[in-house]
Chain A
Amino acid sequence: DAGVTQSPTHLIKTRGQQVTLRCSPKSGHDTVSWYQQALGQGPQFIFQYYEEEERQRGNFPDRFSGHQFPNYSSELNVNALLLGDSALYLCASSLVSGHYTDTQYFGPGTRLTVL
């Protein structure tokens, strides 16, 4: 049973560029959440996708956008990169259970460095 996978593992970009990160959820999961983890901090919630729609959003600017595909995989796009966007980006998948999503399982993350 494959867990959550993310690609790429590492990425280096320059200020002003755009980046796309990818996530495949754990088998059987239908919901994907994205988190940003700055060095030495806990992860911060960016947004969550369910049924190909953004279900919830954290306190992140519109430069951060996402997409979920029919196979439940997801992309995180960041436009006009800033130095402060350098972080570990974590994807987590879960299964909707009633009103709430169940326990989230995390991928290994993508380390983004903005120069």
Chain B
Amino acid sequence: QVQLVQSGAEVKKPGASVKVSCKVSGYTLTELSIHWVRQTPGKGLEWMGGFDPEDDGETLYAQKFQGRVTMTEDTSTDTTYIDLSSLKSEDTAVYYCTTAGFDYWGQGTLVTVSS
């Protein structure tokens, strides 16, 4: 059984960066492809990017976030990270890590961007 446990809530000022972690258990990170999805208040789900083994093992990023988002992995701790820079108030959202098939989800991390 896969479990994804995310880091806690963050409050950031506009222009800052945030790094959210997602620790995998039940499987190793090398056995999974992790994606990130966010949900702004009262809105729907929005795919941000993820590791795609079908695409030469590259990490795919949604065009909307290109240049601002970086997803990294630490296989020694089975932890994956999303780093979002140049934060704006519109980035206030709950950020989820999920497996590529969307069959397992983290609990979500609320990131609040406010001056």
Partners in one complex: no
Chain B interface (Cβ within 8 Å of chain A)? none
Chain A interface (Cβ within 8 Å of chain B)? none
